């Protein structure tokens, strides 16, 4: 026997997965079923992606139309003066706004410029060099 199991001779065929020939055909059948299910799955994914794309495009068109109508109606109301009167600002808010405007105007008019002297060779120097 020389280390072979089950009393097999040198030329015998060994099928580990099948007991007789009819089970060998089941492997091919199972492979065919799995391949067809894989193809069906791919087709379903393609169909679903196309369906989602069509509905997203349609939804974007609807949103675009609704947004355009809302903007148009708002502009029409602004042009006609149909928005009505606004509530006057609170006096404290007005005082704070005036204070901020005054500070901003003061900062805009104030320029902190320093004059830097030049040395005899034409290079800029610090004030300590001239003292």
- 10 Å Cβ neighbour count for 78? 10
- Evaluate whether 123 touches 115 at the Cβ level (below 8 Å): no
Cβ 118 vs Cβ 125: under 8 Å: yes
Tokens of 17: 């997965």
pLDDT in tens, 84-123: 677 778 999 999 999 999 998 888 777 777 777 777 887 8
pLDDT on residue 125 = 74
Contact status, residue 125 vs residue 119, Cβ threshold 8 Å: yes
For residue 118, which phi and psi values (nearest 5 degrees)?
A: -110, 145
Q: Is the pTM of this model over 0.75?
A: no
Which DSSP state fits 50? H
pLDDT in tens, 14-61: 555 545 555 566 778 889 999 999 999 999 999 999 999 999 999 999
To which H or E segment does residue 63 belong? helix 21-80
Q: Which helix (H) or strand (E) holds 94?
A: helix 91-109
The whole-angstrom separation of Cα 73 and Cα 46 is: 41
């Amino acid at each position: 026997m020389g280390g072979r199991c089950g009393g097999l001779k040198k030329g015998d065929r060994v099928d580990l997965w099948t007991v007789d020939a009819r089970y060998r055909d089941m492997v091919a059948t199972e492979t065919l079923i799995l391949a067809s299910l894989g193809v069906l799955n791919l087709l379903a994914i393609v169909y679903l992606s196309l369906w989602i794309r069509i509905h997203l495009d349609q939804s974007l068109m609807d949103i675009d139309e609704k947004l355009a109508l809302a903007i148009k109606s708002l502009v029409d109301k602004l042009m006609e003066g149909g928005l009505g009167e606004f509530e006057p600002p609170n006096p404290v808010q007005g005082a704070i706004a005036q204070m901020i405007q005054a500070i901003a105007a003061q900062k805009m008019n104030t320029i902190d410029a320093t004059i830097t002297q030049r040395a005899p060779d034409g290079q800029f120097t610090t004030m300590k060099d001239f003292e």
